[in-house]
Structure 1
Amino acid sequence: MAEHGMPVGETAARLGLTVRALHHWDEIGLARPAARSSAGYRLYTDDDLDRLRRILVYRELGLDLDAIRAVLDEPGGDVADQLRVQRAQVAQRIAQLQVLDEDLERMIAAQEHGILLSEDEQRETFGPAWDTGWPAEARDAYGGSRQWQQYAERSASRSADDWAAVTRLVSDLDHELGAAVDAGVRPGDPAAEALVERHREVFSQYFPLTRQMQVHLGRMYADDPRFAAHYDGIRPGLAAWLRDAIEASARAHGIDPDTARWE
């Protein structure tokens, strides 16, 4: 060591620190160099380097600078107690990371599979008419869309009971739609408008459903044989009635169904 000490830059390089860190520790009195060069520059002695190495050990263990100062400088300080406190904090963090890991696992699975229920749970929750291949079909068709991501984010936190509650909402809506057809409610009537709003509210349980997107769903209900069979099975003509009611509502809100976009 030149002039009985090591300059700041060399000390920082030797220990893998920054000069700024050494200056900060000097300013707060945590690690002050004991020597000076003839030109007045700070020099770190062997004892200083030993203290710096000890600081690095405790910093690596997660102690903050005040705790490190207490360990190194307070007479009679119980280092074991300080380390026990740090270990308890580490254990808490590990538990938090474990929960985060489980959440990430569920989110990944939801993005890949849609519904995090076994096939038996799906049949029990959604009924015997449910096709367990539908989630994979939906993923293949819409997996890259924002709506699929939103759907998966919600699915990741839903249990079988949560899905059963959503299913009841849909079933109740189907009953209300069928009752409206029986009562002679026409698309555009106030009662039909209320049901269109109810439809948008219920189906927003899957992903946020705008009025323009709802127009596309309405047309799919009437045009897709599987959806048409579902609604017409509730009441003959219900698929077309729901499509017309959605389009009448869209027009009432200034949306041209023929130019509505999926957005």
Structure 2
Amino acid sequence: MKIKEAADLAGISVRTLHHYDEIGLLVPDQVTEAGYRLYSEDNLEMLQQILLFRELGFPLRQIQDIIHNPDFDRQEALEMHKGILLERRARLDKMIHTLEQTLLHTRGEMNMSSQDKFKGFDFSSNPYEQEARERWGNGPVDRAHAKTASMSQEEQDAVTSSMNTIYRRLALLRHQPADSAEAQAAIGEWYRLLNTMGTYSLQAFKGLGELYVQDERFTLNMDQFGEGLAAFMRDAMAFYADQQENREP
């Protein structure tokens, strides 16, 4: 199957498949003399597995480590995906039912108790925090929590204001090259601000930038300031981290 056909089948872009090939995540089994990528059935099965992991919020680096591990069991992974998605569906069904009941309540067609209004809601676990712990370990996350907890409400509001200011500044710069002086100055401010709330190594900072694009929750939040901001920040953060590391003795 040609790359355009494979991309259309999976509902992703050709650029995404090019990227997967470039990083060694999904290398097509054949490349013609003219340079056209051809995807086999095995390639398509692996692509399905990659997209299932993406759906569950796994970063590309982790997916690559998992699926290219000699001990990787595809059957076991599929069973795991099924279990997680069934659990997610059950929770969404509860929330949809709660929403339907709430609509009836607002129209005066039924009464809801306070408890009924929150059936299906469960925010006891933070997906961002869990992913951060898996990627970088507990240290940075715990230090960020301790730092935030020690701030007054005014200090927390000031940090939020500073974050939004940098977002808006980067949004204005997002059509420039990510390695431009202006973009790098702004992304340097972002790095320093994040380190007022925790301790981020340059590699952690670079990994966080990748997460902005890999996790649609981050992307949607950031792209409110300007479409393409998340991808721009990822590129700017990667360049910044690499440049700063090269300068270190």
Same fold (TM over 0.5): no
| TM-score of the pair, normalised by structure 1 | 0.42
Q: Give the number of the structure with larger relative contact order, counting CA–CA contacts within 8 Å between residues 6 or more apart.
A: 2
